[in-house]
Structure 1
Amino acid sequence: MMPPFTILKNVAAGPARPDDDFVPGRYTYKDVYAMAAGFQQHVFAKDRPVSLCLCTTDRGKMAAALLAALTRPAILILPYSCEKTVLARIRQEQGFSKAVTDAPADLPGGVAAVDPVPPSGGHRAFDASLMRDFGEVFVKLFTGGSTAAPRTWSKTIGNLFFEAIYHAQKMQVTQQDRFVATVPPCHIYGLLFSVLTPLVAGAGVIEGIPTYPHEIQTAIEKHRATYLVSIPLHYRMAAGMDLPASSLARVLCSAARLEPEDSRAFYEKTGLGITEIYGSTETGGIATRVCTTIQPHFTPFDCIQWKQTNGSLAICSDFISPEIALDADGFFVTSDRIRVVGPNAFSLEGRADRIVKVGGKRVDLDEIRMVLLEMPEVSDAAVLSVADSGRRGNEIRALAAAQASAGQIRRHLADRLPGYALPRKIRLTDQIPVSPAGKYDSTQIRKLLDAE
């Protein structure tokens, strides 16, 4: 295979097929590179850094900004929310004064909306002569946007583009492929698989973010989509879709754990195994598994070195954010506990940081959740701990989406867990709250658990 840096230089040099659609019905590749030239000439500068906030779901403009940032000292900020108060907070931290936005009225004071296409409509050609070093930071992403303290992670050109190139090569994405994504492009999963991977492969991505089953099905059928990029919640809802003779060749899932019954149901309905991608914003992608009638073990990417360190997964990867501290051998020890099941496979056994002390005893919150899910009446559950001013140290609380009473759930748990590990509070709900990225919304979960 061609080295990733060679592919990236070829991508920057210009589209192989300018008249092909990047976003069918809206942008050709020629349009995207023209907008990238617009960013170069009217937004960024050659001699000084410029921070630009991308408050948009317009994948054509995002692709153009990413291309332009390959050649100018720009930092692209992808906010976890485009609410005015959130943008004001991010602006205070990151110092941007320009933004590409779908809603100019929501920008905080002092921030100017910019458009890569000037009123005149004229552009010089995209200038790829000043390629930046691949180790330079050019994107800022956020994690924990559903909690009170979201964290910023930097990504270098190599972090993002080389991972996108890896996926495009590994999945053999072609110029004929079309992607439908139910996730926004401001999160790393959506950015990689609904902007960057199609871009480096010369493929197309369908406009919009369908979320309901009929919207997803319509987008797939109308555009003969070959890739579906989605999250566990949407696969759970897939029972409402009818895709027996679909054009889909591959379906992807990330952002949260895919439940075995959901992957089995989707496979039985469509004949397609869901490719679950394991990783995080700060680490980038790490491993995959294809879920059919069983949940197989994860297989690490063949471009990543991995090992088990004190029960946790340790990785050495070109996709890791530069803020991450590495050991002397270049490895980062994650908080994910694993069980090695073969020369190149592992299973996830929970989070090391999901173990808390209750009355001096170690309690695994993920184990409590799994015991909850063993109950047929419980479709989903979230378990967390809160500080206890008494001698227990922590108090366990559980939120369950269940067709059962709190008493029935408590009895189920009491038969299987030691007394100190039993939740002190159990609340019932129709559905566990999730963020737009498909992760559990910790803030909303805590509000439900705190309600009397």
Structure 2
Amino acid sequence: MSDSPLRQARWRDPDPTRCVGWLPTGRVTLADFQRRIGAWQACLDTLAEPGRCYALHDRDPLVFASALLALWERGDSALLPADDRPETLAGVDALTRARLGDVPGGHRPSTGAAPRWGTLSAERTALWLYTSGSTGAAKRIPKSFAQLDAELATHRDLWPLEGRLTISQVSHQHIYGLLFAILRPLVEAAPMAGALCRYPETLHAWLAALDETSQTVLISAPPPLERLPETLDWPRVRQRLAAVYSSGAPLPAAAGRRTQRLLDAPVRELYGSSDTGGIAWRGVPRQDDAWTPLPGIAVRADRDDDHLWLRSPYLDSRDWQRQADRIREAGDGRFQLLGRADRIAKVGGKRLSLTAMDRALEAADGVRRARTVVLPEPSGRLGAIVQLDPAGIPIEHGARRQRIAALRERLARAFEPTVIPRAWRFVETWPVNAQGKLTVERVERLFRDRLDHRQPRWLGVEASADGCCHVTLEVPERLAHLAGHFPGRPVVPGVVMIQWTCDLAREHLGVTGAFSRLERVKFPQLLPPGERVTLALEWHGDMQRLDFRLSGRHGCHASGRMHFRAGDPS
């Protein structure tokens, strides 16, 4: 097989009946897929001459893939924003934005004439990725066809798809999802699922809908793997799953073993970044935390400060390049990750290793994971995000104060009082995005109530396949709405709980339209400051109705129905 799998362009094959996309409701053949490419090219022809750069974002894998190939075959390139939120698009630097020619929003052609095939030269820039790295500032990463080819050939040789269906739970706007969920199926002539599989219930249903002889691979990340429920009948479907891949963040060893037990398939983790491409991999179960470099990758540790030095065919330069991660060599070419060396902050005029503070917190009883961050506010103080064992989660004001005092006492043994975190967020599930990243946006969301004293303390959200979500909240002790309600025994007013419900439904369920009316509203229990509660939201889009229930350790604090007027501005 060619060492340039991408430039071999298997999507040009003359086999019209080959399956390119699959869903339980039907298949997309290669002939259908080629017509989609042609339709995109016809659309692009109306916008500009070839040789442009276009922003490309679409959650549908087949729409995304056909648009990307239309660009490449026409002589254009693509820029892949991480998502399509206005804040993300606004973060693209002005120079780049001025050069983009965006396909009209909502235009997703499905049929068209035969596509035109071009030339995919090795050194031509295929696309740009955006990454925030460790700073939060957007950084543009170019990828040539040669770089993508080198990585695709490595993965193909290590773990060939051999015609298996690819099911993805991660975004293809990032390098891992792009390579494993989109480009590998295209270059290895294997089918891909026609939609993202965000929920375990959907994964189970899709596996059950496959022919008993069909085989699949799952492209996933730590968050969905950690949430696999024991209650689904995995033994009935898992014989159709050949392998599981995880990337974006380290998969906890216990979660890896549990995934392998439930799905009965090899679990492989990949380590890398948008800048570097893939660097190393490891399997589950593992005897240690060491990573094995991918073929062709050379890794060494700096003698002075343990920085990772990397030499890779996936980079523009073949020279050794220094990375922000720190490693310890483990023999046989393998290495262990020690964390990022750039997590240094100046707090109260003093330089501080945030990684060292994280480790001190993680050594405390009941702490699973911890991350200290510089608060997104002018104070320059630190906040701490701490994942606790479920039994250790504080659910009221007194327990929370005791937990904070114990952790502060532990830190005081090694750090000066002025640098110890001032704000604490205790979570049961690590608050990462779909790619397994604790992003700048997630950190801002966790501490937003410090800047707006009308807001509840947001501690994470869990969504389900049926359109419901559960938001974990705490009532801040300094909530502005507590003033005067009531003296001597402050509680959250009912109208405030209703406003929180409305705002969070718009944020997490995409509810739109103007508020219309309430039904069956009840406030059975008072809600005092410091309480930890769960807001259950269920949106019925056909009726423009939101069902909600806010409950905690004493039972239900608020419940009812909220109606919206379709088409009205929010």
1:315 equivalent to 2:319? Answer: no
Distance 2:334 2:87 in 1: 44
1:192 equivalent to 2:186? Answer: no
Cα offset for 1:209? 1.5
Task: Report 1:213-362 matches (<5 A).
Answer: 213-223=200-210, 224-240=214-230, 241-244=232-235, 246=238, 247-292=240-285, 294-309=287-302, 310=304, 311-320=306-315, 322=316, 330-357=319-346
Distance 1:338 1:34 in 2: 48
Cα offset for 1:316? 1.8
SS in 1 for 2:446: helix
Q: Deviations over 1:28-77 (max 9, x none)?
A: 22322333344445526997412222221222233233334444331212
Distance 2:351 2:58 in 1: 44
SS in 2 for 1:336: strand
Distance 1:231 1:259 in 2: 11
Question: Bigger CA drift: 61-70 or 299-308?
Answer: 61-70
Of 370, 378, 384, the residue aligned with 1:398 is 384
Q: Which residue of 1 aligns with 2:3?
A: 4
Task: Report 1:119-130 matches (<5 A).
Answer: 121=112, 123-124=113-114, 126-127=116-117, 130=118
Of 402, 407, 411, the residue aligned with 1:407 is 402
TM-score (norm 2): 0.66
Cα offset for 1:207? 1.8
SS in 2 for 1:99: coil
1:67 equivalent to 2:58? Answer: no
Q: Deviations over 1:101-149 (max 9, x none)?
A: 5xx2xxxxxxxx46363xxx3x23542xx41321221212222399863
Cα offset for 1:352? 0.7
Task: Report 1:19-168 matches (<5 A).
Answer: 19-24=17-22, 25-43=26-44, 48-84=50-86, 86-87=88-89, 90=92, 92=94, 93-94=96-97, 95-99=99-103, 104=106, 113=107, 115=109, 117=111, 121=112, 123-124=113-114, 126-127=116-117, 130-144=118-132, 149-168=137-156
Distance 2:266 2:372 in 1: 29
- Paired amino acid for 2:222: P
- Paired amino acid for 2:431: P
Cα offset for 1:438? 2.4
SS in 1 for 2:278: strand
SS in 1 for 2:103: strand
SS in 2 for 1:183: coil
**Which of 1 and 2 has greater Rg?**
2
Q: Deviations over 1:251-292 (max 9, x none)?
A: 011112212221122233334342111000111111101121
Cα offset for 1:447? 4.3
Cα offset for 1:308? 2.0
* Cα distance change, pair 34–162 in 1 and its aligned pair in 2 (3 A): farther
Q: Which residue of 2 aligns with 1:109?
A: none
8 Å contact from structure 2 (residues 200, 228) kept in 1: yes
8 Å contact from structure 1 (residues 98, 114) kept in 2: no
- Paired amino acid for 2:69: L
Cα offset for 1:398? 0.5
Question: Bigger CA drift: 345-354 or 212-221?
Answer: 212-221
SS in 2 for 1:216: helix
Of 128, 146, 157, the residue aligned with 1:169 is 157
Distance 1:314 1:47 in 2: 42
SS in 2 for 1:98: coil
Distance 2:378 2:244 in 1: 47
Q: Structure 2: which 5+ runs fail to align?
A: 395-399, 451-570
- Paired amino acid for 1:149: A
Q: Deviations over 1:281-308 (max 9, x none)?
A: 1111111011215454100111222222
Q: Structure 1: which 5+ runs fail to align?
A: 105-112
SS in 2 for 1:353: coil
Of 414, 418, 426, the residue aligned with 1:418 is 414
* Cα distance change, pair 389–14 in 1 and its aligned pair in 2 (3 A): closer
Distance 1:409 1:229 in 2: 38
Q: Which residue of 1 aligns with 2:543?
A: none
Of 425, 428, 440, the residue aligned with 1:427 is 425
SS in 1 for 2:228: helix
- Paired amino acid for 2:373: L
Task: Report 1:362-401 matches (<5 A).
Answer: 363-375=352-364, 377-386=366-375, 395-401=381-387
Question: Bigger CA drift: 278-287 or 53-62?
Answer: 53-62
Distance 2:370 2:185 in 1: 35
Q: Deviations over 1:322-352 (max 9, x none)?
A: 5xxx5xx612211010000013100100101
8 Å contact from structure 1 (residues 397, 425) kept in 2: yes
- Paired amino acid for 2:256: S
8 Å contact from structure 2 (residues 242, 266) kept in 1: no
Q: Which residue of 2 aligns with 1:207?
A: 194
Q: Which residue of 2 aligns with 1:183?
A: 170
8 Å contact from structure 2 (residues 7, 149) kept in 1: no
Question: Bigger CA drift: 142-151 or 364-373?
Answer: 142-151
Identity of aligned residues (%): 25
Distance 1:440 1:56 in 2: 23
Q: Which residue of 2 aligns with 1:108?
A: none
Distance 1:249 1:400 in 2: 35
TM-score (norm 1): 0.82
Count of aligned positions: 424
SS in 2 for 1:244: helix
Distance 2:342 2:93 in 1: 31
Cα offset for 1:84? 4.6
Distance 1:398 1:286 in 2: 30
